[in-house]
Structure 1
């Protein structure tokens, strides 16, 4: 409680100082959580919007002791930017925010950075990018790779993590021998270069909001494999089944823990999807025409397009405030 009080006091002072110095027309916060609630209640006279990233919704379930304080301020937001339609509905239910204040803006990728490069099809490169953790499904993914021994592939494993889960993932990756490249944490430019030359991107997460890495991988010309989650399904509507293939999500206990007895099936489902995708690459590699069609589908998923959707809300709020 003392820490929370200190946190609130420090951020309240910083928010007041920033508002006095900058005199904003609109405040845009991130995460429907403690700081956004504090800022809304501290500066009630300035229009305020906030982006929901998904981890805030997870915290509402994982840390219910803060829920009342969070809802107190966040329910008074003038606008919320949601990443996908299912998330918008969850925001409405959890925070009591009217649906007309919730706008599905999505998330974007850097169109000049994430572009297709030369793809090799003799030994396809498969990229994973993200935290090396159980919540991301990495241990089961690595066990699935170990079972696909009759087809050529190279796994490029990018990301960090914290022990002991990171150590578990590195141990399993080490058992794949020279088929696995352990790259560690990368700068965005380095990660974009890896995706540019890759054939496949895989994301076996047990929990996601709208995973930004999927549009980035798609824009890089990668066939994508991802767990069947609500945010992923929204990306599927854009990319289509030719480019994004769903891995059945196992039954869960809590937000991101596989229910007992379902781990072997999750491994076999990942392996089956991986095997099918590799076979398609060998037999029917994507053509230049398919790349052009995909780029057209993704044009509304660039950061420029996302910001245009946000900007419309800014202008509406600014016009309303001026009246």
Structure 2
């Protein structure tokens, strides 16, 4: 089978970018021929993808596309264009560039099936254009957030997504929302989950001493990922509550260079904080593994998520894990990792899909601080996550297509 994977975003730097790169690697491992259409800024590399994969890049920041890659989140960990800011002329250029890449891929690669990422604009363009080849679409939740926050091409997107041969979701609550928002036949919506790279994220290899009291965050350094609330929660933790030991917080991840809330976070870190905070930025995979392995507790206090694979990576590396109990996420992690030891924190009241009520943040930060303290004084868990592999995610997708007599 020849599988063409399509994403408007870069194949790295975000959860959905990693999902793309890792599922393509698993497709190769399982013996399939692979190709990828993806958006990149001019000068970017596609080295996150397997060397055997044919890549048809659409290059932004060029005369043809004189703006940055479009981001499914309004704040990306790299310079990006918000979909809500696309003008008709920009959208026309976007569509023409991806149609040209699609035409090349169809001619040169001749796929048997197409897997698109995000139920959004590019997937709609692909579904409209392709005839006679199955087109499946993977939901990452950020597409649902875009549909909830502005009206760019809404009727077109809904119409095209209703014609998708299959839709793959991260968890059951997300699948229910996909059916509600797009009106897609529930029989074509499947829960296939997420995975992690067990060859990379594990406790094997060179031993890294685990540092008691080291807390790490991995993700986009932004308000909506809960980083400001994490800093406030850290300030609420007293030495007496943790037996007089010392703490350190390591923030790993990129940020939008134009983000005002990132500047607030950096200013707070630069001012007086109760405990040391290190902003590591984006790091190579080897360094990320070292940070996971050396940390005591991993914390992801997001206000909106799909099914965050960083939580699985942290568990695989032996961390205690604290996460916000967002709708569908707790249940989804339970489906992927039954009996997992994740400590869940009730989220704040929300004003909309990803914006917390400011008045509810102090109570949330208190709950977050208490959960961190509880994790710090709890013994390190022993939990096997090796059954949550990318190979199994890909196999579930292809099994759904075969059972529907699509592939």
**Is TM more than 0.5 here?**
yes
What is the DSSP-based 3-state SS (H/G/I as helix, E as strand, rest coil) of the residue aligned with 1:64?
Answer: coil
**Among candidates 251, 256, 267, match of residue 157 of structure 1:** 251
Whole-Å separation in 1 of the counterparts to 2:98 and 2:339: 45
- 2:101 aligns with 14
- 1:173 aligns with 269
8 Å CA contact 1:160, 1:166 repeated in 2: no
User: CA offset at residue 236 of structure 1?
Assistant: 4.0
8 Å CA contact 1:123, 1:154 repeated in 2: no
**Cα 1:312–1:237 shift into 2, 3 Å:** closer
Whole-Å separation in 2 of the counterparts to 1:320 and 1:238: 25
- Aligned ranges 1:1-323 → 2 under 5 Å: 1-116=88-203, 123-150=212-239, 151=242, 152-162=246-256, 163-174=259-270, 175-176=272-273, 179-233=276-330, 234-236=332-334, 238-239=336-337, 243-280=341-378, 285-286=379-380, 291=382, 294-295=383-384, 298-316=385-403, 320=406
Whole-Å separation in 1 of the counterparts to 2:406 and 2:253: 44
**Greater helix percent: which structure?**
1
What is the DSSP-based 3-state SS (H/G/I as helix, E as strand, rest coil) of the residue aligned with 1:252?
Answer: coil
User: CA offset at residue 173 of structure 1?
Assistant: 2.6
What is the DSSP-based 3-state SS (H/G/I as helix, E as strand, rest coil) of the residue aligned with 2:387?
Answer: helix
What is the DSSP-based 3-state SS (H/G/I as helix, E as strand, rest coil) of the residue aligned with 1:205?
Answer: coil
What is the DSSP-based 3-state SS (H/G/I as helix, E as strand, rest coil) of the residue aligned with 2:298?
Answer: strand
1:250-304 deviations in Å (ceiling 9; x for gaps): 0111222221311211211111111111122xxxx23xxx52xx21xx2331112
TM-score by length of 2: 0.71
1:45-95 deviations in Å (ceiling 9; x for gaps): 211111111110100111224211111211111111111111111111111
User: CA offset at residue 122 of structure 1?
Assistant: 6.8
1:164-191 deviations in Å (ceiling 9; x for gaps): 2112112223333772222111122321
8 Å CA contact 2:320, 2:342 repeated in 1: yes
What is the DSSP-based 3-state SS (H/G/I as helix, E as strand, rest coil) of the residue aligned with 2:299?
Answer: strand
8 Å CA contact 1:300, 1:306 repeated in 2: no
**Cα 1:239–1:320 shift into 2, 3 Å:** closer
Whole-Å separation in 2 of the counterparts to 1:140 and 1:34: 33
TM-score by length of 1: 0.89
8 Å CA contact 1:116, 1:197 repeated in 2: no
Whole-Å separation in 2 of the counterparts to 1:320 and 1:274: 47
User: Which structure 1 residue ranges, 5 or more long, are not aligned?
Assistant: none
Whole-Å separation in 2 of the counterparts to 1:315 and 1:46: 14
8 Å CA contact 1:126, 1:153 repeated in 2: yes
8 Å CA contact 2:303, 2:354 repeated in 1: yes
1:11-55 deviations in Å (ceiling 9; x for gaps): 223212211221111111111101101101111321111111111
Give the stretch that moved more between structures: 18-27 or 230-239.
230-239
What RMSD, in angstroms, separates the aligned Cα atoms of the two structures?
Answer: 2.1
User: When the two structures are aligned, how many residues end up with a matched partner?
Assistant: 309
**Cα 1:168–1:241 shift into 2, 3 Å:** farther
Whole-Å separation in 1 of the counterparts to 2:102 and 2:211: 55
What is the DSSP-based 3-state SS (H/G/I as helix, E as strand, rest coil) of the residue aligned with 1:15?
Answer: helix
8 Å CA contact 1:54, 1:209 repeated in 2: yes
**Cα 1:320–1:202 shift into 2, 3 Å:** closer
**Cα 1:215–1:122 shift into 2, 3 Å:** closer
8 Å CA contact 2:171, 2:329 repeated in 1: no
Whole-Å separation in 2 of the counterparts to 1:207 and 1:308: 27
Whole-Å separation in 2 of the counterparts to 1:311 and 1:121: 39
